[in-house]
Amino acid sequence: MTLSPTSPTTSVNSAAAPPGSAEGAGLTLRDAVLGRPGAPVLSGVGLEVRPGEVLTVVGASGCGKSTLLRTLAGLLPPLGGEVTADGRPLGGPGGGRALVFQEDGLLPWRTARANVELPLAIGRVGRAERRRRAAEWLARVGLAGYEGRLPHRLSGGQRQRVQLARALAGQPRALLMDEPFGALDAQTRAGMQQLLVEVLATTRATVVFVTHDVDEALFLGDRVALLGAAPDAPVRLFAVPRPRDRAAHETPATAAVRRDLLQSLGG
Ligand SMILES: Nc1ncnc2c1ncn2[C@@H]1O[C@H](COP(=O)(O)OP(=O)(O)OP(=O)(O)O)[C@@H](O)[C@H]1O
Ligand SMILES: [Mg+2]
């Protein structure tokens, strides 16, 4: 399966990222079949996620967005074809790729701090360093003072901030986000988008961000990938004229891409 033409984009974060931060991973699917054994969802998938870019993913409900993300996370081995990170087959979860879910991604019996520390503990980061990083990231997402709270005592937006802190505390090379702001009200969602943009300016992580919301896709993404409704439809890629610029929302260039995306989604 071939890719739609793409235009070059600069990565969001390499310019501003601290020199010590890890380079974003390049993720590639070639003629890949995705889904569960005996139940393929997408076939012939070709897609190249460039190191350091933000690729947003849209498509009709049930078309396979979460399947794609779980495959990239290493949770669903490809049923065929090739899925690689920096040219090497994924080989299971981990590998510097962090997932953020729509909701309920936190362990309910662990405090915010303990949730953020968990992947660090699994990665054998020492206790003091875990504490330090958890405190630092919780503060960066605006949750200083909330470290000891259990998830059910946090708002939906705060829980998503903890998830973001947990994902980023592990210094991932790829951040995979599955409708992370989908359950939030419009105002909280806009605030979370802004927070994400600010936080990404300090990392070089590659981001794959699934959303139902075309405007969110056009705000956050360097490019938007559109998954077709048919299982073997090629992934279509759209370059975003002015990524992460709210002022671009009403420009003719953005409006044209939005129209194209909405038309493709609508039928
Ligand atoms: N655990 C599962 N077992 C079997 N089939 C599944 C499972 N999860 C999803 N599917 C099927 O795989 C297909 C793709 O699902 P997926 O969750 O990837 O879609 P999606 O694009 O993320 O949808 P949405 O926008 O509603 O989140 C659907 O037909 C769905 O029914
Ligand atoms: Mg989904």
Each residue of 104-141: pLDDT tens digit?
A: 789 999 999 999 999 899 888 999 999 999 999 999 89
Q: Predicted confidence band at 3 (pLDDT cuts at 50, 70, 90)?
A: very low
Which residues have CB under 6 Å of ligand 1?
36, 39, 41, 59, 61-67
Give the distance (Å) from ligand 1 centre to CA of residue 200. Answer: 28
Per-residue pLDDT for 267 more than 80? no
pLDDT tens-digit series, residues 167-219: 999 889 999 999 999 988 899 899 999 999 998 988 889 999 999 999 999 99
Which of 33, 34, 36, 57 most suits a substitution to test ligand 1, by most atoms within 8 Å of the C-beta?
36
Of 14-18, 87-91, 190-194, 212-216, where does mean pLDDT reach its minimum?
Answer: 14-18
pLDDT of residue 127: 95
* Mean pLDDT computed over every residue of the chain: 90
The stretch 154-174 carries a mean pLDDT of 92
Q: If you average pLDDT over residues 159-166, what whole number do you get?
A: 93
pLDDT at 198: 92
Ligand 1: which of 34, 43, 67 to mutate, judged by most atoms within 8 Å of the beta carbon? 67
Q: pLDDT at residue 229 above 70? A: yes
Packing angle between helix 156-169 and helix 112-122, nearest 10 degrees? 20
Q: Does residue 4 carry a pLDDT above 80?
A: no
pLDDT at 17: 47
Name the amino acid, one letter, at 182. Answer: G
